[in-house]
Structure 1
Amino acid sequence: MEQRRLIIPVFFSKAFYKKKNRESYAVFKKILGYYPRNLDLYELALRHKSASARGQDGVLLNNERLEFLGDAVLNVLVTDLLFKHFESQGEGFLTNTRSKIVQRETLNNIALELGLDKLVLKAEHTLSPRKSIFGNTLEALIGAIYLDKGYRRCKRFLEKRIIQRFIDIERIANQEINFKSKIIEWSQHEKIKLNFEHTELPERIESPLHFEARLFLNGIFVACGKGYTKKQAQQKASQEALAILESRQDLYADIMATAT
């Protein structure tokens, strides 16, 4: 796959770029455990869209495409790992455990532990709720690893550099996360009104879920969830809402604009 290269000003010397590349290789070696083959990919993974550069073909370059790829690769990697680690557990348990590992808060904390917050290139004015920019950068980095080194190297990076150092799989698997409490705490801190609207679902043999909860922030619809009980539906809606607030900066900005 051909990668676009950034336009480099001609007035810098070759010696400058050799020194810069040596420093970059050393930085990534410390994070990844190996030297990159295609350095441009990894540097692009650190470039937030607020600091987009223009390629030789005029296209704006940032880490959004790598983030998209890395998100998908990460989900496959974690699914693979959990499938083999919990041989006797069912789909629901595996899905729930995976969502805890790949949730934005977890990825943000891992990115901070890896020091990505000190490397990411972004504009100072960037709107970034709960520092999700760093978790997104981690996903972009995984996308870069996949393109540069392939699936096996990605898996090794996840296991050796992330799971073994920062994640206790057994503890996370048995940890209950109260998403409703999290979003209530956030809404109270930001002085934003939160409310749920409930609908009782018609009984269906193929679906035992009885309730749907729709979550609103200052009157703006954000997410919905379904469950066996109203409480479970609220939890699902809250979990979805937290994920949406992390990824949808436009919606986040609209909600914050209504805060008093």
Structure 2
Amino acid sequence: MKLNNIIDRIKLPFRKEKELFSSLYEILGFYPRNIEYYKMALMHKSIRKRNDKGKPLNNERLEFLGDAILDAAVGYIVYQHYEGKREGFLTNTRSKLVSRETLGKLASEMHLTNLLLSAGHSTSHNSYVEGNAFEALVGAIYLDRGYEACLWFFEKQVLGKYIDIDKVAFKEVNFKSKLLEWSQKNRVRLEYKLTKQKKDENGSPVFTYMVLIEGVSGESGSGYSKKEAQQKASKDTLQRLKREPQFVDAVFAAKTARTQMEEEPAMAVPSTEQEQNFIIEQDTTPANDAETKVDEKQDNVSTIDFTDKEFDLSDISHKEKSREEIIAEAEAAAFSED
């Protein structure tokens, strides 16, 4: 690499695009061989340039290639750097290193964005555009000098100067806390639902959680711990909230429906007191008062009307007999004895 750089430096004064070569050298650590690859990598699709055949000229194809090469190169570097670490840790570390946010910051710090050709200035601070340009640059390096040059570039130029791999690996970004803060500010209900729990081929538990905001399904995340799974689900849900206005609308529509139901007048809550009608009331009235009450009760008893025909007893009452009746009864008795 050093010998090639010396030769390329000697050739530099005779090149047509000396400034571009020099700028790329500061970024790459070596001089390009085929400058056309790098010019294409720095060409954003917004300029709408086409070749003689009418095909668009931009960095999207190189971005696709660079994304794949970057994953492989960074994966190898992480694998070599963290001997004995589990696959989950290695994957998580690689994801942090090649995230769009990280690549966007790298492009800015390395002044790659100063070389980016676009239709306007609106993309100059867009991490997605900058990150895409960084991936396209890696694709250009691969086509120009091969995989080993890509590996050297990221290991020596990026990790050696701009990124502390250990800080990135062990940095804990609390996406769950960020999502919770957002939900509290907007007064929406946030819930984490365990949707799946299984064991991997080594017998380690794997959890899958889904985010629910006002009952609307967000994103899911899996991990070897509940915390890790919820963090991943929170991160993806936050990203979805940023890029999908329809998702945000659905959340707040659900919130409106819930709050309207809560504002409806509620029926009175039934009493929990029970009637004690099984208790016999005790008479605590003094004795004198009791006698008075008995007399009052007797006075209040309805008297029977004996003049009523139904209760006429006159036919069984005692009555004086006449002399003629006595003689007649005596004669009847005498004749009956015969």
Change in 2 beyond 3 A, CA 1:128/1:24:
closer
From 60, 71, 77, give the equivalent of 1:75: 71
2:102 matched residue in structure 1: 106
1:29 aligns with 2:20: no
Length-normalised TM-score, structure 1: 0.74
Cα deviation, residue 187, structure 1: 8.2
- Secondary structure of 2:84's match? coil
Distance in structure 2 (CA, Å) of the matches to 1:73 and 1:96: 18
1:249-260 aligned within 5 A: 252=243, 254=245
C-alpha change, 1:236 and 1:187, in structure 2 (3 Å) is same
Q: Give the structure-2-normalised TM-score.
A: 0.59
Which residue is equivalent to 1:213? 210
Q: Is the 8 A contact 2:66 2:137 kept in 1?
A: yes
**When the two structures are aligned, how many residues end up with a matched partner?**
235
Find the structure with the greater CA-based Rg. Answer: 2
Task: Please tell me whether the aligned partners of residues 211 and 234 of structure 2 are also in contact (alpha carbons under 8 angstroms).
Answer: no
Among 40, 47, 58, which residue is 2:43 paired with? 47
Q: 2:138 aligns with which of 109, 124, 142?
A: 142
Q: Specify the code of the residue in structure 2 equivalent to 1:198.
A: K
Structure 1 spans left out of the alignment, 5+ residues = 1-17, 246-250
Could you say if the C-alpha distance between residues 103 and 146 of structure 1 is closer, same or farther in structure 2, counting changes exceeding 3 Å? same
**Structure 1 stretches of 4+ moved >6 Å:** 185-189, 191-194
Amino acid of the residue matched to residue 252 of structure 1? R
CA distance, structure 1, for counterparts of residue 124 and residue 236 of structure 2: 18
Where do 1:69-218 residues align within 5 Å? 69-124=65-120, 131-182=127-178, 195=190, 198-201=193-196, 208-214=205-211
Contact 1:213 1:224 survives alignment (8 Å): yes
8 Å CA contact retained: 2:205, 2:225: no
1: CA distance between counterparts of 2:20 and 2:83? 41
Gaps of 5+ in 2: 1-14, 253-338
TM-superposition CA deviations, 1:79-105 (whole Å, max 9, x none): 111111222222122112111211222
Three-state SS of the structure 2 residue aligned to 1:95 is helix
Shift of 1:223: 3.0
